[in-house]
Amino acid sequence: MVEYADICVGLAWGDEGKGKIVSHLTKHYDYVCRWNGGDNAGHTIYVNDKKYSTHLIPSGVFHGIKSIIGPGCVVNIKSFFNEIKYLKDNGFNTELIKISPKAHIVSDEHIYEDEEKYKNRIGTTARGIGPCYTDKYARKGNTVSDFREELKEYIWDEVLEGKILCEGAQGFWLDIDHGNYPYVTSSNTLPYSACSLGFPHQKIRKIYGAVKIYDTRVGIDPEFSDELDNNEELMKIAETGKEYGTTTGRLRKVNFLNINKLIQALYYSGTTDLIISKIDILEKINIFKYIYNNEICSFDSSELMIESIIKLINESNNYVSNILLSRSPKEI
């Protein structure tokens, strides 16, 4: 039986540092599980000062924890085995990795359709994720159970037990229902979708919400207009923060943190513990600004800016009880 489930969710457009948070927390859990998305996600973590990146496999494997790809995920078999090889080559125990037989399979046809129809129109990662979910909901897709022989070492026919950490992909503003449609991902990114892994919502204990001190976005979205690309301060933030997508390698669009959107994401997600990262980036270049009520607010120091952000969060209607600050790629 599941004792409790904690969930790590992104509060923006992805790339908020969820992998680092999950890596930091993993040792306290029996399972680390992915509940949505496929290899369109990108998680970067550090183990013994060495940097690793995965796209599909949960981060628990880096710390010797059982790592589950849930029924709400979609799996590209070739990408999966490439990650297995990558992990084996780096000395990690891949026997800990399991896939739900109900997860759907991304085919070559899905990837081709994504590249031809959607990449330039809505800026997808062209990994076949959207077309795969389309077939899933049209009830004509193939699942992992259809490939039992090929994936027999990794198929998970058990039930979750003990303490569970759920690792989200993408972020709140990419959610299929709450994002700026159609410039969204194809799955539900809100934490309550994690219950599809196999536990009731009453088992949810904490929701860790991740956000950077500035906003970033990969792909096409009118909310991140091309005008932002010519803003010298935002360009400086992007360069200093090395804002390139883990999955796509594309330069992320950058804007000042939108406090109104953050507050909305905190409320809808039910975040209990908020982690704000990359504060050190703004401190290196002495740019301390955020957006509130459509106005840019400027500050003389990171301390004054963070104090103001915390005040606005505390005055809003949400469930946040802890706010943690990160000034290092390796620490919280």
Q: Give the CATH number of the domain where residue 128 resides.
A: 3.40.440.10
What mean pLDDT do residues 151-172 have? 95
User: pTM higher than 0.85 for the full model?
Assistant: yes
Q: Cα(306)–Cα(78) distance, rounded to whole angstroms? A: 44
How crowded is the C-beta side of 102, counted as CA atoms within 13 Å?
12
Q: What is the pLDDT of residue 221?
A: 86
Band (317; pLDDT cuts 50, 70, 90): confident
Question: Does residue 115 lie within any of the structural domains?
Answer: yes
Q: Cα(144)–Cα(157) distance, rounded to whole angstroms? A: 11
Question: Does residue 332 lie within any of the structural domains?
Answer: no
- Kindly state the tokens that stand for 320: 């946040």
Q: What is the pLDDT of residue 76?
A: 97
Q: What is the pLDDT of residue 222?
A: 85
What mean pLDDT do residues 285-308 have? 98
Question: Based on the structure, what is the number of domains in the chain?
Answer: 1
The one-letter amino acid code at 111 reads: I
What mean pLDDT do residues 61-69 have? 96
**pLDDT over 70 (residue 248):** no
Question: Does residue 331 lie within any of the structural domains?
Answer: no
- In tens, the pLDDT along 111-133 reads 999 988 766 666 677 899 999 99
Q: What is the pLDDT of residue 40?
A: 84
What mean pLDDT do residues 11-24 have? 92
Residue 221 dihedral angles phi and psi, to the nearest 5°: -165, 120
**pLDDT over 90 (residue 94):** yes
**pLDDT over 70 (residue 15):** yes
**pLDDT over 70 (residue 303):** yes
Question: Does residue 213 lie within any of the structural domains?
Answer: yes
Bigger pLDDT: 177 vs 20: 177
Band (48; pLDDT cuts 50, 70, 90): confident
Question: Does residue 330 lie within any of the structural domains?
Answer: no
Q: Which of 15, 114, 215, 273 is catalytic?
A: 15
Q: Which of 43, 55, 104, 110 is catalytic?
A: 43
What mean pLDDT do residues 242-249 have? 73
Q: What is the pLDDT of residue 251?
A: 78
- Kindly state the tokens that stand for 331: 């620490």
SS3 category, 162: strand
**pLDDT over 80 (residue 177):** yes
Question: In the annotation, is 43 catalytic?
Answer: yes
Question: In the annotation, is 177 catalytic?
Answer: no
Q: What is the pLDDT of residue 44?
A: 80
Distance set, CA 90 to CA 58, 80, 155, 215 (Å): 16, 16, 22, 33
Looking at mean pLDDT, say which of 32-41, 50-59, 286-295 comes out highest: 286-295
**pLDDT over 90 (residue 166):** yes
Continuous segment of H or E residues that includes residue 315? helix 302-315
DSSP state for residue 106 in the 8-state scheme: P
Q: Which domain holds residue 33?
A: 2-325
